[in-house]
Every structure is written in C-alpha cells, then in structure tokens.
Amino acid sequence: MQVGQIEFSGIMVYIFYENMKQTIIIMGDNMTTYENEGHFAKKHQAGAKPNPGIEAALKQKISNGELPCAVAFKIASDLDVQPGEVGQVADLLELRLTKCQLGLFGYRPAKRIVKPAVHVSEDLEKAIRERLENGRLPCVNAWNIAKALGLRKMEVSSACETLGIKVSSCQVGAF
C-alpha cells in the first residue's frame, strides 16, 4: 500500500493506494472516506436492480464505461424518466458519469473546466441568490436560471464560481 498526504485548507488529507483503488481519508472535525475507482453502486440500497429499459438504453450509448451528462439527459428524455433514474442505473452498472454540462466534473485532464466569470450581471446574481438552498445552488436551479435568462448552463456555473457559491444536488446523482 502506498500512502500520500497533503494539507488542504488546514485539513490533513491522507491518500491510500492499493490495487489501483484509491481511498481518500480526510482528517478534521469529521472523518470521511471516499472510494473513487468504481463502487458507484454502493451509493444505493443493497440489492437494488437496474431498470431494464434504462439499462438497455445505456448499454447502447456508453463507451469505455463512461456516461456523459448530456447522454444521460437524452436517455431520460427519450424514456420519459427522471435524470436521477438514469444516474442510478449508471451507478448500478458501475459507469462513470462524465462531461457535466455545468463543467464541474468529468473532463480530462483537469476534471473540471468551469472558470470564474470575469463579470456577473446583477440579474444573474439576483437569480442565483434567489434560488439558493442552504447556501448552495441546486443543479436543476442552475439549469432553470440558464433557460430563463437565455444563457449557456456553464455561464451560470461560472458566475457561481465568481460568487463563491457551490452547486449541489446533481440531477444525475454524481454529487
């Protein structure tokens, strides 16, 4: 087993590597363990079975064990199901969600591609702040703001970066 450690924002982070799996243990007020090479099905109830229709659609669309966000939404639309249902089946099939439409995860090599906005209009800031829940902007609210203001989704997440606001509650269940 290999061990690495870094300090991040005053919290010691220990990273353990074994058999190509990575476990990160964050030491601080709360101890959290996160395993990130597969094991997505563990997020769901033991014995959960994938919806056969969604599973079939995913198997037709995926490549290299990855499911882009836009593809998950297309499947949800085609099958008239919620994006979270597609995300759950993706987890049960151990598929990695990629290319978040808000630019927050799933890109290579940087993982996230969203950058802080140079300027955030008053209208956009107001719309974001009005839709916060517990100080965070749910993903669905970011999408709704983009649609209402005629913006690209990533313009909203970029504004959030500038404003120091975290996006929460991924619609397909990545976070």
Tokens 């990160």 belong to 24
Quick one: pLDDT at residue 37?
52
- Cβ pair 102, 64 in contact under 8 A: no
E strands, the chain, where? 2-8, 11-18, 21-27, 32-35, 66-68, 96-98, 137-138, 167-168
Tally of residues, the chain:
175
- Condensed to tens digits (0 to 9), the pLDDT of residues 58-84 reads 999 988 899 999 999 999 999 999 999
- pLDDT higher than threshold 80 for residue 122: yes
Q: What residues have CB less than 8 Å from 97, skipping those under 6 apart? A: 66, 67, 68, 69, 72, 87, 90, 105, 106, 172, 173, 174
The whole-model pTM stands at 0.76
